[in-house]
A and B are shown apart, each in its own frame.
Chain A
Amino acid sequence: NAGVTQTPKFRVLKTGQSMTLLCAQDMNHEYMYWYRQDPGMGLRLIHYSVGEGTTAKGEVPDGYNVSRLKKQNFLLGLESAAPSQTSVYFCASSYSLAGGKEVYTQYFGPGTRLTVL
């Protein structure tokens, strides 16, 4: 299992440009999440999805859009990048049913480092 993968690993954008970050998981998890991490801080939730075709806003959703067309993929889009969106973006997935017990451990991808000039 590759677990949670993210592409690209690094990206530099100019203000106003758009881009899409791709997250893929091969653990058959129902839930997927996008977080951002700014220097010296913990992660903050941007958007999340509880299943294919569903999305919901997290703590800091402004300036981002998401889509979950397939269960294993969760896309994060920036329509018009701003310098305030310079950050490291992490994707995560969770939810499993093991022995009749629900387990919500979140597994994280390696992150995408985005710089907006």
Chain B
Amino acid sequence: GIQVEQSPPDLILQEGANSTLRCNFSDSVNNLQWFHQNPWGQLINLFYIPSGTKQNGRLSATTVATERYSLLYISSSQTTDSGVYFCAVERSGGGGADGLTFGKGTHLIIQP
């Protein structure tokens, strides 16, 4: 099956800092999503981004499908950004129905 690797596994930053999270995947994809899992366990959709660049407030994401990686940028970090960030993909050819394969996540801690 498709492999998803996220880096770094852990990241500790001061409030106000910027960060870049990376997701590498091993095959062509027709779906790539970034999620934030907050300390209460809730999974929050951040981006649906199988290719291209999107921005939403302080967060932005870029997927370079031809090189099989995606980047999530967080600017001016706030303590509420703490949690685990997951990248998840579905390989091409699945017709959107095969389900997502998740990476192991990046555990982000923002200190005040």
Contact = CB atoms under 8 A, between A and B. Distances in A.
Q: What size tier do the contact residues of chain B reach? A: 20 to 34
Given A42-B88, A59-B1, A111-B42, A105 B48 contact: yes
Contacts of A64: none
Question: In terms of DSSP, what is the predominant structure of the interface of chain A?
Answer: strand
Interface stretch (A19-27, A67-75, A88-96): A88-96
Interface residues of A, number: 28
A41 interface: yes
B65 to A, nearest CB: 15
Given A43-B86, A45-B100, A106-B88, 13 more contacts: A35-B99, A42-B86, A42-B88, A42-B102, A43-B100, A45-B101, A59-B1, A102-B96, A105-B31, A106-B45, A107-B45, A108-B43, A111-B41
Interface of A: 31, 33, 35, 40-45, 48, 50, 58-59, 88, 90, 92, 94-95, 102-108, 110-111, 113
